[in-house]
Chains A and B, each alone.
Chain A
Amino acid sequence: MALDPEFLRYPHRRRGMDHDRYEWSQLHERGPVEWPGGARLAFWINVCVQFYPLNQRGMPFPTPGGMTMPYPDLRHFSLREYGNRVGIFRLLDAFDRFGLRPSFAVNGAMAERAPYLISVLRERGGEILAHGWDMNSLHHGGLAPEEESELIDRSLDSLQKAFGAENRGWLSPARNESPHTPDLLAERGIHWFADWVNDEMPYRFRAANGDLWAMPLSNELEDRFIFMQNLHSEESWVEQVCDACDFLLKEASVAGGRILSLNLHPWLMGQPHRIAYLEQALDYITSQSDVWSATPSEILRLCKE
């Protein structure tokens, strides 16, 4: 018994990363970033507005939060729709109550499925991220680059028509990428994306057609990760978010501006038994001194200076 000799060869064993997408850099070695008004913490909330089709392909894997029962899995299909019909309005009310300005990551398919909701979001003026076509259209290496290009174009066109502005930010469905995704995004004028979770501050990401910026959108504090994957309680989610807030505020006092990012799903967080816990967390965070409610583009603009 032996492995192929390839298994004991290490072609990328060298200084820095084992790929060329970005430079190796430790957070603590970078200079401090300053937020407006001397704030220590930029608070970025992103809300996912998603369509989970019934006829899920599961390519290249079943979408997290997607269908799990034999077709037609009406329980999960309709519960995801609940988020866009009911849950999101609870979230919007909470954001208004605490004066917060979330961004919205919107599946292209939502433009024709819920024009009313789109108009509500448009009137709010929150920043919009392109979020792929739908949750059944994952970006992965099994797609030909032309297929993936078409998927991105369709998503961007739909949002441009719906919101009347060009999209600069991107979040891949299920945060999954093909080896080409960053290149195809850069080629289409996308300026930043939030799939990678290796940093807590924005950093430059190489793409074949011009650089992107990687924005830090925490997966570990996401409602889906904590409730659906870890099965933690609502109380624990609040504790974890508040503990993160405390920690980052403290670190920011010596290291310069930090970012607290929360990625939320209205179909989870917008449930009647959960929304109070979101309000509790938002109340805690916004009552700390030196917290700045920020959009991702505002954060990025200051980090690039």
Chain B
Amino acid sequence: MKADLELYDYWPYRDRPRIVWPGGARLAFWVAPNIEFYELDPPTNPYRKPWPRPYPDVGGYSIRDYGNRVGHERQMRLLERFGIRGSVSLSAALCEHHPEIIDACAELDWEFFSHGIYNTRYTYGMSEDQEREMILDAMDTIEKHSGRRPAGYLAPALSHSERTMDLFAEAGGMYTCDLFHDDQPTPVRVRGGQRFISIPYSLEMNDTIAYVVNRIEPRRYGRMLRDNFDRLYAEGETSGAVMCIPTHNYQVSCPHRLAALEQALDYITGHEDVWVTTGREIAEYFLNHYYDAALEDIRRKLEVADGA
């Protein structure tokens, strides 16, 4: 084990090359619905149990199935109402289990990025070959069912190896959602030297982290989303930031919670200088316009720090 995988260099938030998003926008805003499939009886990974209760974990499994049976349609129609195209963090096997969900999202021109095969199959303990096989399988499956090869990756259940970024970049990936070190896109160092970046995805705005881990009340979650937006929008005048709301259909679409998201989306999209976009579009725009300047600025600041 290492103290640091050295995926990125220290790069202070102040005095960076100014980012201006398309149309002069100061905030790139994207919503990332996780559309996941959890298996009722997966093989047990030696490093992490798939379910807290012994087989069958009826409560854990069935609330996640609720997300696909009940929640998805609600969230999709809500995003549609605000002109937001979702960037789907997709368990690739869902293409096979529930293709009508893929079709409905594709109809609305949503993006699909990879979230592994199942959210009950973790990266922990995989050999390099196994992880590569899993990453390629997910990308191939998503491409086959959606017509487009995914550009982004959120490792299944946020389970990683030391090589995850390297392998995804080698498979043709463009961006990762797994790093929470910044409010702007940043270059990510991979062994093959590919132009590979991190797009802010936000752990704290993630509904499952908010509702399950931090046990936050729905209305407080809605307020946090608006507060998060207000600050990033203000700072975006100096240099454009990214705000992401990662969601889960089994959390955010429950009848007692959807109003909180609805109010936040209404508030955010009601502001003028917001670029309502997708993960891939943010990644492409950053790579085309700011990636080189970012690398140069990082190098310069490291040299200054070294006293060179």
Contacts and interface: CB of A to CB of B under 8 A. Distances in A.
Contact of A3 (B73, B93, B125): B125
Contacts of A260: 255
Contacts of B56: 141, 177-179
A197 B130 contact: no
A301 interface: no
Nearest to B66: A198
A175 B99 contact: no
Interface in A87-145: 140-142
12 contacts: A1-B127, A3-B126, A7-B125, A12-B39, A25-B69, A27-B69, A60-B54, A196-B58, A198-B62, A198-B63, A243-B256, A248-B255
A8 B72 contact: no
A241 interface: yes
B96 A13 contact: yes
A12 to B, nearest CB: 7
A3 B58 contact: no
B68 interface: yes
Contacts of B101: 26
Contacts of B43: 4, 6-7
A14 interface: yes
B133 A8 contact: yes
B82 interface: no
Contacts of B126: 1-3, 7
Interface of A: 1-4, 6-8, 10, 12-19, 24-28, 60-61, 140-142, 175-179, 195-200, 219-221, 229-233, 236, 239-241, 243-248, 251, 260
B215 A197 contact: no
B134 A232 contact: no
Contacts of A14: 96-97
Contacts of B55: 141, 179
B236 interface: no
Given A19-B41, A179-B55, A247 B258 contact: yes
Given A15-B99, A17-B97, A236-B217, A197 B70 contact: no
A137 B101 CA distance: 40
Contact of B254 (A220, A231, A245): A220
B220 to A, nearest CB: 8
A142 B97 contact: no
